[in-house]
Amino acid sequence: DTVLALQGIAKTYNVGLPSQVEVLRGVDLSVDAGEIVALVAPSGAGKSTLLHIAGLLDTPDTGTVTLAGQNLTGQSDRRRTLARRADVGFIYQFHHLLPEFSALENIVLPQLSNGVTKGEARARGLMLLDKVGVAPRAHHRPAELSGGEQQRVAFCRALANGPRLLLADEPTGNLDPATSDQVFDTLMTLVRDTGLSALIATHNLELAARMDRTLRLDAGRLSTA
C-alpha cells in the first residue's frame, strides 16, 4: 500500500527573466504504509521544495503527486487543501506553536477546525501528550517548556488530525545532540505506534540510519543512498 507517490517531478523557479533555477528534475519517490524514509540533502539541493510538493503546499511543473491513493495532479486548490488537512502532518526544525495557547490547546485547535468536538479533541490531545511524555505540561504555554518538550508538542499537533503521512524537515535540528537523540526516539516510537508513514529530512546520518531507508537528494536529483 503506497501512501505517497511522486512521479517525474520537475520544478523550476523563474528568478527574473532570463534567469531560471532548475530545483528538481525527474524525481520519483514512493513511501509505503508504515514506512519511515530519510531524506538526506545538502543545503540548496531542493529539499524544502520537494517536501512542499509532497505536502501539497506547492505544485510541480511536471509530474504527478498521489497521496493516499488520490491523484492530486492538477486538482483545484480546494481539493488539495482538503487532502492536505486530512492526510498530511508537518514538523519543522522550529516548533511554530502558538505562544498564547497552552500545549494542549495547540493540539486541540487544529482538530476543532477539522470539525471534531471539544471533548474529543481534548481527549485525543491528552492521549498524544501522554505518548510523548509531556502530559504533565499540558496546561503550560510553549515558553514555559524546554526545547525538547516544545518539539514533542509540535509532534502531537502534527498528528492531531490523524494524518496518513508525516513530513518532517530537520525535526530535531534545533536541539543539542543529547536532547536530539531522545526526542528523535520519541518521534520514531510515535510514528511506529500510530502506523504512520513518514518522510524525514535530516543532515544527521546516524539519525537517517535509524529509519527504514535513506534517499539522497543532490542538485535536484534523487538517488538511493
Integer CA distances (angstroms), 114 to 49, 72, 86, 87, 103, in order: 26, 20, 8, 12, 18
Contacting range for ligand ADP; rule: CB under 6 A; set: 47-55, 136-144, 186-194, 208-216: 47-55
CA dihedral (48, 49, 53, 58) positive or negative:
positive
What binding mask, one character per residue, do residues 105-144 give for ligand ADP by CB under 6 A, x or -? --------x-------------------------------
Query: 109 is written with which cell numbers?
Result: 485547535
Q: Of 48 and 75, which CB lies nearer to ligand ADP in the complex structure?
A: 48
Query: 17 is written with which cell numbers?
Result: 527573466
Contacting range for ligand ADP; rule: CB under 6 A; set: 26-34, 82-90, 145-153, 206-214: 82-90
Nearest approach in angstroms of CB 178 to ligand ADP is 26
Q: Of 93 and 182, which CB lies nearer to ligand ADP in the complex structure?
A: 93
Phi-psi sector, 26: left (phi>0), alpha (psi -120 to 50), beta = left
Under the binding rule (CB under 6 A), the answer on residue 84 touching ligand ADP is yes
Q: Of 89 and 148, which CB lies nearer to ligand ADP in the complex structure?
A: 89
Under the binding rule (CB under 6 A), the answer on residue 23 touching ligand ADP is yes
Q: Of 145 and 158, which CB lies nearer to ligand ADP in the complex structure?
A: 158
Under the binding rule (CB under 6 A), the answer on residue 155 touching ligand ADP is no
Q: Of 178 and 223, which CB lies nearer to ligand ADP in the complex structure?
A: 223
| Span 87-106, contacts to ligand ADP by CB under 6 A | 90
Nearest approach in angstroms of CB 136 to ligand ADP is 26
Nearest approach in angstroms of CB 21 to ligand ADP is 5
In angstroms, rounded to a whole number, what is the distance separating the alpha carbons of residues 203 and 191?
A: 20
Under the binding rule (CB under 6 A), the answer on residue 75 touching ligand ADP is no
Query: 111 is written with which cell numbers?
Result: 482538530
Q: Please count the other Cβ atoms lying within 10 Å of the Cβ belonging to residue 25.
A: 18
Nearest approach in angstroms of CB 157 to ligand ADP is 8
How many residues are given for the chain?
225
Under the binding rule (CB under 6 A), the answer on residue 45 touching ligand ADP is yes
Q: 186-219: buried (b, 16+ CB within 10 Å) or exposed (e) per residue?
A: bbbebbeeeebbbbbbbebeebbeebeebbbbee
Residues that bind ligand ADP (CB under 6 A): 13, 15, 21, 23, 41, 43-49, 57, 81, 84-85, 90, 113
